[in-house]
Structure 1
């Protein structure tokens, strides 16, 4: 008897939006094509997102319980957030590893998913690269799987990168000065010390022991083993924006993952507002960033300096809005929304002239796919790498750490991006490459091909 249900595809992701959103869009594309036997495993909070996907075929939700607090940055306390967003790239990375090594929660999620996989018996799994328990279930059960990588692909391939390549999470550019090359070598060498960092060694040992007890075939969590075991690796960028390096044939650079537009056709009020303004800057710093009062004050001043001829649309959560100056002090050209029904629809609007963001992988690829030049205020980890990639591509500018709460530093860069046509020209060029890579439609084609191939052989 086969261990797989012919053709069944199971998506798996943690509930953090950066990891989740590309897979939701790809799953929706498959459902719209009438692909049957689709499943989506995630935290309980994701159920409404999956149920809203619709399509010719239903996508069945697999409930894995409450989100793991320690791997869900939006749930972190202020101390954990501050540590992982440290100005020191290395200290921020170590703090992230220390925070996310949660043995008990990993074990709970692994067992829950393993039981559901035994029930569903998928032919193929499509797993977010940060959803470690999903990868381990697939590898241990021998189920073919696709790795979804929504951050720079080089971050996954860190152990196999050429020595001269900018080390992931360093924020170093492709063309380095002599001093930067030395810093790059030192930063790469520090990864050898990671198991000995305070608060990491004991947790890492417990993690390996727990994985051995679960019978996981890759108990040390070796990244190279995951790369080798994957049927395919999906990255949502293109070489040229991502710095090139040697990759196996299984890597698919798919560009931006964008749903059919308009994604939210009922949002007429915001569309009318955009229609009525000739030049709009869109600001959105994702679901993780927690701008300080000083940063928020600086961004309000940036908007003020742009007025009255240019408007600013700023997506800012209710919690962060409490840090705003009194409403009477806000400039008339600034519109603040706690929720925007579709970032895609906003970025696609022809009157949006630039995008100011935190440098997350999805935000960068989405903004550039619509030809919007960018100003990046990098938040943490891979955001520093993406910021220099945007700058190196000529499609935008990055704000240095010292300028993240400086209205002049941000505003001067934004003025350049808006006024110098070369930035828009490069953004349009990069955007064409991101769209031509295939996005969600190409991902859906490949997943169907892989799943059908397995179905024939089992």
Structure 2
């Protein structure tokens, strides 16, 4: 008898990637049928997933897509790439919290009700044995609770994001860097008071927010649930972190640490593979939601120039840079003297993880997104993080705590300043003792993940146990 697994998720890459990785693994298991319910933007990626399954010799009909109505999560929140970046520190952190309440349930009551009804219809048609819900997809959790379904929650985020405020002695307030703060870990005593203040403002803002109260009313009217929204001690959680990949935390028994939940990778396309074979390479992939203006691009290029001029051996840079605004004109103007060392693409035809796993890859430069962090960890590549908002500051702090890289814009975030960025690149990707230590630690963590935490394999095993 076939196992039928339904996965519900938001459509944004940062949230859906772990769901797609888990769906792939489940669909490769004998006798398992998988359905993915999400918004329209994810349909194309599910089609690509079906092709990957076929290429690997599996039946693509074992996985299907089911459309949810209305707007995706970030579109409904109303966040934009222009007004979301913020600096670290107390005031910028408090300003960034203007979006946090609506993130919990950003849709109108009628939109949310339509989502709930659609998911119920999918459940009745597909008749799943188990449902897996992405952490921020509240509608999936609410339907499962109302209908009494077996379900788990999968999160793309770190264990600190999930259980930071569930630590003994209220350690979530004073021990770990507050969201958006950019504080170091271990937290300096001089920052404890302001860290507590930021966290209390975050908690009180959520508790007394009219948006959250309305969302709770809608949810309780639907499923009569008084359980917490962000963490439910009665629900099983799948998390891509491990004890070695986060700050020191007490992990509740209902949280399964799986290791990075990443997709298997196809071979790198031939032309790019030939280019990567030429020299040690840095991948610069700052996310699809980060916007660059001409001054920002010039600072990054000047930072690259510092690395290229002072590196003892030839090194090259692969830079994913979407063609927005006057990007192309700016690039043409400022890279003339280093053009042969930089390969700029509007989109990566090969998967970032496949590129990171190339033996010539020496550093990943990214904005601090959870997926970027875990992919680099999985590949065993040191990281330079240029954070721009919210938990991206946590990941910049995390790579320094783990000794697998550095925060490349500590004095200039959310922008980057050329001298600081360039010197950081030299420290992480250079021919020096510190860079050697970063590489050794990154490879050690990757090996630990492969041997002890099998990522999507462990997560799929956990799902099928139900």
Bin the TM-score by the shorter chain: 0.7 to 0.9
CA distance in 2 between partners of 1:326 and 1:387 (Å): 27
Give the Cα–Cα distance (whole angstroms) in 1 for the partners of residues 402 and 285 of structure 2: 21
Instruction: Give the CA deviation at 1:108.
Output: 2.8
User: Is it true that 1:42 corresponds to 2:53 in the alignment?
Assistant: no
1:116 pairs, out of 115, 119, 122, with: 122
- Alignment match, 2:445: 430
Write the deviation string for residues 270-313 of structure 1: whole angstroms up to 9, x where unpaired.
Answer: 1111112x211110012222234322221122222333722110
Q: Which of 262, 269, 272 is the matching residue for 2:271?
A: 269
Equivalent-residue separation in structure 2 for 1:291 and 1:281 (angstroms): 19
**Aligned: 1:202 with 2:210:** yes
Paired residue for 1:329, among 330, 334, 357? 334
Q: Are 1:26 and 2:22 counterparts? A: yes
The structural deviation recorded for 1:316 is 1.3
**Residues 272 and 72 from structure 1, CA distance in 2 versus in 1: closer, same or farther, beyond 3 angstroms?**
farther
2:167 corresponds to 1:166: no
Distance 1:138 1:67 in 2: 21
Q: State whether residues 154 and 168 of structure 1, in contact with CA within 8 Å, keep that contact through their aligned partners in structure 2.
A: no
**Offset of residue 25 of structure 1:** 1.4
Q: Is the 8 A contact 2:27 2:33 kept in 1?
A: no
Aligned to 2:346: 338
Sort the Cα spacing of 1:32 and 1:218 in 2 relative to 1 into closer, same or farther, 3 A.
same
* Pick aligned residue for 1:402 from 393, 412, 415: 412
Q: Match for residue 374 of structure 1?
A: 383
Q: Name the SS for the 2:388 alignment partner.
A: coil
Contact 1:152/1:382 (<8 A) preserved: no
Aligned to 2:250: 246
Q: Which of 233, 236, 260 in structure 1 is aligned with 2:240? A: 236
Secondary structure at the counterpart of residue 392 of structure 2: helix
Change (3 A) 1:392 1:117: same
Aligned-residue RMSD, C-alpha: 2.4
- Which residue matches 1:442? 458
Q: Of 179, 189, 194, which aligns to 2:200?
A: 189
CA contact (8 A) 2:100 2:206 kept: no
Decide which of 125, 140, 144 is 1:138's aligned counterpart. 144
Contact 2:133 2:141 in 1 (8 A): yes
Separation (CA, whole Å) in 2 of partners of 1:33 and 1:18: 25
* TM-score, scaled to structure 2: 0.86
- Residue 296 of structure 1 aligns to a residue whose secondary structure is helix
* 1:455 paired residue number: none
Residue 173 to residue 159, structure 1, CA distance change in 2 (3 Å)? same
Q: Aligned partners of 1:425, 1:321: CA distance in 2, in Å?
A: 40
Indicate conservation of the 8 Å contact 1:101/1:204, yes or no: no
Measured in 1, the distance between the counterparts of 2:44 and 2:213 equals 37
Task: Kindly indicate whether residue 78 of structure 2 is the aligned counterpart of residue 82 of structure 1.
Answer: no
CA separation of 1:10/1:203 partners in 2, compared to 1, >3 Å: closer, same or farther? same
SS at match of 2:391: helix
Q: Give the one of 253, 259, 263 matched to 2:263.
A: 259
CA drift at 1:328: 4.8
Counterpart in 2 of 1:7? 3
Q: Which residue of 2 aligns with 1:61?
A: 65
Supply the distance in 1 between the matched residues of 2:326 and 2:353 (Cα, whole angstroms): 23
**1:167–1:395 Cα change, 3 Å:** closer
**d(CA) in 2 for partners of 1:324, 1:443:** 46
**2:241 touches 2:260 (CA, 8 Å); kept in 1?**
yes
* Per-residue CA distance 1:36-73 (angstroms, 9 max, x = gap): 22111111221222123233342011111343364568
Deviation, 1:139, is 1.7
Within 1, Cα distance between the matches of 2:192 and 2:375? 31
Give the aligned partner of residue 211 of structure 1.
219
Structure 2 segments unaligned to the other structure (5+ residues): none
Structure 1 residue ranges without an equivalent (≥5)? 451-458
Number of paired residues? 433
**Separation in structure 2 between the aligned mates of residue 90 and residue 34 of structure 1, nearest angstrom:** 49
Alpha-carbon distance, 1:83 to partner: 4.0
